[in-house]
Amino acid sequence: MLKPLHDNVILKKEKVEKKTASGIILSGDIKEQPSFASVIAVGDGAKQDGKTIPMTVKIGDRVVFKKYSTTEIKIEEEEYLIIAEKDILAIME
């Protein structure tokens, strides 16, 4: 598994099904998918003035992130995203 360094976070993007209002699932590519993901791993935190700033997100959180701020990586047929914590916009509650 990946262990993120500093204030980086490993995400697993959620798969999105496109449905109509009546519940019919549409096939094909979805061009504009929401940027939702689950947190898989977190780094120790950013360093500032010799001190570690703790991370705000934790493993298991569901988050919204900036669309073009990630690095994609594939390990054993699973796709993961690496992102800096500052590029995570919100935690879903």
What ranges do the domains of the chain cover?
8-17+34-92
Distance (Å, rounded) from C-alpha 6 to C-alpha 9? 9
Distance (Å, rounded) from C-alpha 30 to C-alpha 19? 11
Length of the chain: 93
Q: Give the model's pLDDT for residue 25.
A: 66
Distance (Å, rounded) from C-alpha 15 to C-alpha 8? 22
Q: Give the model's pLDDT for residue 13.
A: 85
Q: Give the model's pLDDT for residue 27.
A: 59
Q: Give the model's pLDDT for residue 33.
A: 61
The model carries a pTM of 0.79
Q: Give the model's pLDDT for residue 54.
A: 93
How many CA atoms are closer than 13 Å to the CA of 93, on its beta-carbon side? 1
Q: Give the model's pLDDT for residue 35.
A: 85
**Alpha carbon distances (Å) from 7 to 17, 20, 65:** 31, 39, 15
Q: What is the largest CA-CA distance in the chain?
A: 56
Question: Which CATH architecture group holds 8-17+34-92?
Answer: Roll (2.30)
Per-block average pLDDT, block size 10, for the chain (93 residues)? 93 74 62 79 93 95 92 92 96 92
The amino acid that residue 8 corresponds to is N
